[in-house]
Amino acid sequence: MRSIFLSAERCPDLDLANEVVPHDQLMEAANASAERIKASSPASLSHIKEVTVRGLELSIDERIKLAREFHVRCLQTEDAREGLRAFAEKRDPVWPGR
């Protein structure tokens, strides 16, 4: 397998990172990112965790298949319906966690 060097600045363009910040702003940026994640749907976070853990033992093709299956499951949750309602009503969602 061939190694490829990517600069940090290039990673967001390739969707390998959300943002690049100076080292002295790293913890502030990480904490802000964690707060955004914590505000997300509990059901979707649970699905993401499960796919991540189960995917560690799978090939890339199997991981993609698993992620697609969980994406479909996630779209069928009460949280997904609440997210769409909240967006349409221009308000913050109140996640039922299911």
Kindly tell me the sign of the dihedral angle through the C-alpha atoms of 49, 66, 85, 18. Answer: positive
Give the pLDDT confidence score for residue 67 in this predicted structure: 93
Stated pTM of the model: 0.68
Beta strand residue intervals within 1-98, DSSP E: none
Q: Radius of gyration (Cα) for the chain, nearest Å?
A: 17
CA distances (Å), 96 to each of 23, 81, 83, in order? Answer: 37, 10, 10
Give the pLDDT confidence score for residue 6 in this predicted structure: 87
pLDDT tens for the chain, residues 1 to 98: 677 888 998 989 998 899 999 999 999 999 999 999 999 999 999 999 999 999 999 999 999 999 999 999 999 999 999 999 999 999 999 999 88
- Distance (Å, rounded) from C-alpha 19 to C-alpha 29? 9
CB 55 within 8 A of CB 67: yes
Give the pLDDT confidence score for residue 3 in this predicted structure: 78
Domain annotation for the chain: domains and CATH numbers: 8-38 (no CATH), 42-88 (1.10.12)
